[in-house]
Amino acid sequence: MASSKEPVQADLEKTQSIIEGDVEEYNVTAETLPESLRALSDEEFRRLEKKLVRKIDLLILPAIGILYILNYIDRQNLSAAKLQGIMEDLHLTTEDFATAISILFVGYLPFQIPSNLIITKIPRPGMYICGAVVVWGGISAATAAVKNYGQLLAVRAILGMVEAVFFPGAIYYLSAWYTKKELGKRFAGLYIAQQVGNAFGGLFAAAILQLDGAHGIAGWQWLFIIEGSATVGIGAICACILPEFPHNCRILPPIERDLAVWRIENEAGAAEGTEDESVLRGFAKALSDPKLILLILCNMLSQGQGSIANFFPSLVSSLGYSSTISLLLTAPPYILAGFVYYGIMFYSDRKNTVYPIIMLCISIATAMYIIPMATTNIGARYFSMMILPFSSVGPQILLYKTINLHLARPVSKRAAASALVNAIGGTSNIWTSYLYYAPPHYYAAFGALMACALLFAGVITLYRWLVLRENKRLESGDPQLIAKAMKGGVTQQMVDMSWRYEMF
């Protein structure tokens, strides 16, 4: 390695330590570096990158994390309202409530795809995301005004359409700023925020519901009013914080902006704002990639397992406690899940692997599904509920990491693929909403989730075989085999960079 006094371009291949302590390999040459970075010494380059990553973390992660907490609180507060009178006030049956849960996804799923295609062409993605946050907060608050089942369905459907902007948009936005060695823990941060939202959403709901009857307003109405209003205010604040894409970020000085763009270009061949690829062409390339079908199926099965979050308060209430105690008991499983998410993504980033972690989560979840079907023992059932949030939802983080690295370029393709996987995969949330009946055993729900887990294990194993086969083709040196790999979604630029499918 070059000494701290030698310019960074002297290293033809350079091992660079990033802020978390991981090791990132860059192919650094005078030709690849922007003019502003070529005079930097090795030590100066390393110091500048640490400063850049730290600044990105401070600007982006807290805001996105808080917004995701609000996203989940606003999406899940209907489940909390079920325990405080909304069923009686709106004269809902169990089937009506299941439809009210699932109707959100009818609006949520199809709108993700056009939204994620649009965000690639918007110079201020943070403003676009936060604008949607403000609107959905207002819609959520308006839920307090519904008087009957039909009005509830209409509000929930519209809420889903607006919320469609956030999650796939946030995933794409993060992948525009972070390298593959940094991305996993940032995705984990999103899911940790999700678990914080689930955990403290239950605690907040328990507190807010104590206002039941104040000023003639029911507790469930206070829940929507307070949480929706908070979302509007915080969304407006975050709109002023989130930066643009790296290439047009006005907060960063020019040298840091050049480095932010170069880090992504050097790893994947191009960065946001540096490609001239139409949205429709990127969408077509995503549809023509055979890996996309398998990833959609994987996510469909994984989100089927993750549907447990939509009904978690009801599952916990089957233990026989009061509504307030049940809401309080939903917090510990989500807090544990947050710690586990960070642990598995730290390990995934450090070891550059996802397949064995996914299989471990599937194995644990399968065992946990059996417990509530087999016994009414409160301790055993709550133990399974402590484990299920992280074991059933954890593989989704690893899937999104896979999508953004295996379907990386062009950027419009990555945006389309991410939205397609989340949108089509998310249809599981519609049909699974009708499975959570007949407490305390919930045979239909847990039986279906177990089937999803076992099928997921088979499909992800098939995907592993496929990408390992593609790697062999890329490594063969045979032009015909390399051409076959390129038909599967690898660009000539990626071949020239010796790019490979990783983590499997």
Structure tokens at 449: 């989730």
pLDDT tens-digit series, residues 195-226: 777 667 767 777 887 888 888 888 889 989 99
The residue to which tokens 């032009």 are assigned: 479
The residues with which 16 forms a beta bridge, in sequence order, are 24
Cis bond leading into 332, ω under 30°? Answer: no
Kindly write down the DSSP assignment for every residue of 88-129, as one continuous string: HHTT--HHHHHHHHHHHHHHHHHHHHHHHHHHTT-S-HHHHH
Is residue 14 scored above 50 in pLDDT? no
Is residue 11 scored above 50 in pLDDT? no
Band (194; pLDDT cuts 50, 70, 90):
confident
Evaluate whether 392 touches 448 at the Cβ level (below 8 Å).
no
Please give the pLDDT value at position 204. 77
Please give the pLDDT value at position 277. 60
User: How far from each other are the two terminal CA atoms of the chain, in whole angstroms?
Assistant: 30
Evaluate whether 304 touches 359 at the Cβ level (below 8 Å).
no
pLDDT tens-digit series, residues 332-353: 888 888 889 888 888 888 888 9
Q: Name which of 214, 231, 233 is nearest 222 in CA terms.
A: 214
165/110 Cα distance (integer angstroms): 11
Higher pLDDT, 477 or 130: 130
DSSP 242: -
Q: Name which of 187, 178, 190, 171 is nearest 119 in CA terms.
A: 171
Kindly report the length of the chain: 504
Please, is 62 exposed, middle or buried when counting C-beta atoms within 10 Å of its C-beta (0-12, 13-18, 19+)? middle
Question: Which of 116-130, 396-410, 461-475 shows the highest mean pLDDT?
Answer: 461-475
pLDDT tens-digit series, residues 284-333: 777 777 888 899 999 999 989 988 877 787 888 888 888 778 878 888 88
Element (H, E) at 239: helix 219-239
CATH number attached to the domain at 43-496 = 1.20.1250.20
Is residue 387 scored above 90 in pLDDT? yes
Segments making up each domain of the chain, as ranges: 43-496
